[in-house]
Copies of this chain bind each other. A is one copy, B any other.
Amino acid sequence: MTNTVNGRLAALRNLMKQAGISAVIVPQADPHMSEYLSPHWQARRMLSGFTGSAGDLVVTLDAALLWTDSRYFLQAASQLAGTEIRLMKDGLPDTPSIAKWLTSNLRNGEVVGINGMMFSTAAKDDLALRLNARGIALNADFDPIDAVWPDRPALPKCPVFVHEDKYAGKSAAQKIDEVLTAARDQMARSIFVSALDEIAWTLNIRSRDVKYNPVATAFMYLAPGASVLFIDADKVPASVAAYLQSQGVSVLTYTSVKDFLAALPSDARVLVDSARTPAAIVDILGDRAVKGSSVIAMPKACKNEVQVEGFRQAMLRDGVAMVESLCEIHQKVASGTPLTELGVAQILRRHRSEQPLFFDESFGSIVGYGPHGAIIHYEPSEATDAELKPEGILLIDSGAQYLDGTTDITRTIALGTPTDLQRRDFTLVLKGHIALSEAVFREGTCGTQLDILARQFMWAEGLGYLHGTGHGVGHFLNVHEGPHQFRMNHMPAPISLGMITTNEPGLYRDGVHGIRCENVLLTVPAMTTEFGRFFKFETLTLCPYDTSLIDLDLMTPQEVEWVNAYHARVRTELTPLLSPQAAQWLAQHTNPIGI
């Protein structure tokens, strides 16, 4: 790998010299600003040898640097060893940003090159501003990747299929009409969309182009009576093409998008989402671009009644898979049958894949035993796989894509008799989890305001977690979806009716254990009074907590009652669907506490 990396960097530098470019930024990105990338877009991985899911590479004529965050410091150091690439530890006080490093290390008059398809227009404008302030130019049309990557994988070719209205609850034609109406508020007559989940939602289509995310690689242009999906023709079966035609959408090839946009009339007013549209696209549109925000994100996040009913049904099936899995895990551990973290992940996948409407997992299962539970993004591998023993605690964060809904659940279970510290930590996490579940809030409240409800009990003891408390969940779509979240950073989107959001506080002690409780919440009406409209949450996830980890001395009577009521509901709803052993296990594990 080391030789490959150094050779590719040398080839890249030749191209840079020919183009008069002093530094190039190769980001972890695709033209759709995706969270997960298909292999075709893994240029940063190809050039650096680093396989982590976050990290940007900067190559100058005499240096190469990789910025990544604390999750990947160890992995990056190991994978970069022997290459010339220097690790830049993002987030540490002494680590400059890429822009700051470039302005400190390049001279007035030098040129930085980027591929404008890999940067949002907002990100590119910000970078240009910072560089130009120091007399450094930005060439946003430098794309050397094909030339230095001879065996570059092709774009994914997975076929597209229709997500039927009986699941989606609204036709593509109607959604197109509604988002075009919303775009008029931003003084636009048409919309360009590069975000793959927004395209999938709008057109009610799905595919398997990106692992865990059932999306198709495409661009989309929406205009009254003239909407276009830009996608490779061999991905679109005739029946899907006919379906798209029936919704008023023509199909053009993926690569024709730039020519199409360039040819739009000069008075076109095309709304683009500044944060998610490639700079190169916006540059082609020029004055025809209306830089604004997505008009699709909010209607996509606020699920309709059909989608909500689908989520409820999917949660029943996922609850069955979880309880069957937990029962099997407990039995194996109790009987001394060998079982590892990877084995647990396989059990989960097996039980989920037996459920009707199962499509895929929604992300790689996190199964962390003992100290592994404290590594927040830990995914077991052959190299790390740990064998479970009848002691310690196990964190399991997993989920599935069903045709009628997407799930994401975390449970932390004791494999032996828990210690006082384990019970205390678990109970503080659970108290925050319950407080957020029970929140009642005025219309207009955003996730930044609600976040503290989940943190307050840990903070009072000087404990806490550094990740967000919850994220939006797509409907048979990406398990992470905006525009809303529960987190400390400002998230202006109000938590609105029909939104689906996770509730997942945690507590992680390095080298000791990790704890997290995660359910999926639906926003529902609470009441309307002379003081306004108030909303609350309905918990959709159906799976018991491990009550052996609850320290009753730390719980209020209301919290105990909440756990007992939730467990009674889980038992009632799941028992008829379970195997006899799992039903018996569930009965034992949903006994009322504090009685």
Instruction: Find the B residue at minimum CB distance from A535.
Output: B459
Q: Report chain B residues within 8 Å CB of A527.
A: 462
Q: Contacts A445-B488, A459-B441 hold; do A532 and B464 have CB atoms under 8 A apart?
A: yes
Stretch in A153-161, A375-383, A450-458 with 4+ CB within 8 Å of B: A450-458
Copies in the complex: 2
> Interface size on A (CB < 8 Å)?
34
Is the beta-carbon distance between B462 and A531 smaller than 8 angstroms? yes
B449, A451: Cβ atoms closer than 8 Å: yes
Residue numbers in B under 8 Å from A452 (CB-CB): 441, 445, 449-450, 452-453
* A365 and B404 alpha carbons, distance in the complex (Å): 59
A531 contact set on B, CB distance < 8 A: 458, 462-464
A228 CB to closest chain B CB (Å) equals: 27
Is A490 among interface residues, defined by CB-CB distance under 8 A?
Answer: yes
Cβ contacts A468-496/B at 8 Å (1 or 0 each): 00000000000000000000101010000
Is A3 engaged at the interface, CB distance under 8 Å to the other chain?
Answer: no
Taking a contact as CB atoms under 8 Å apart, the answer to whether A488 and B449 are in contact is yes
Shortest C-beta distance, A377 to chain B (Å), equals 18
Complex CA distance for A531 and B531, rounded to whole angstroms: 39
- Is A529 in contact with chain B by the CB < 8 A criterion? yes
CB pair A462–B526 under 8 Å, yes or no, is yes
- Secondary structure type dominating chain A contacts: mixed
Q: Is the CB of A534 within 8 A of B459?
A: yes
A175 contacts B by Cβ under 8 Å:
no
Known: A442-B464, A444-B488. 13 other contacts (CB 8 A): A439-B459, A440-B456, A440-B460, A441-B452, A441-B459, A449-B452, A450-B452, A452-B452, A453-B456, A459-B534, A462-B526, A462-B528, A463-B529
The 3 A-B residue pairs with the shortest CB-CB distance in the complex, in nearest-first order = A462-B529, A462-B527, A440-B460
Interface residues of A, Cβ cutoff 8 Å to B? 133, 187, 439-442, 444-445, 448-453, 455-456, 458-460, 462-464, 488, 490, 492, 510, 526-532, 534
Q: List 22 A-B contacts (CB under 8 A).
A: A440-B459, A440-B462, A442-B455, A442-B459, A442-B464, A445-B488, A448-B448, A448-B449, A448-B490, A449-B488, A452-B452, A452-B453, A458-B531, A459-B534, A462-B526, A462-B528, A462-B529, A462-B531, A464-B531, A464-B532, A490-B492, A510-B530
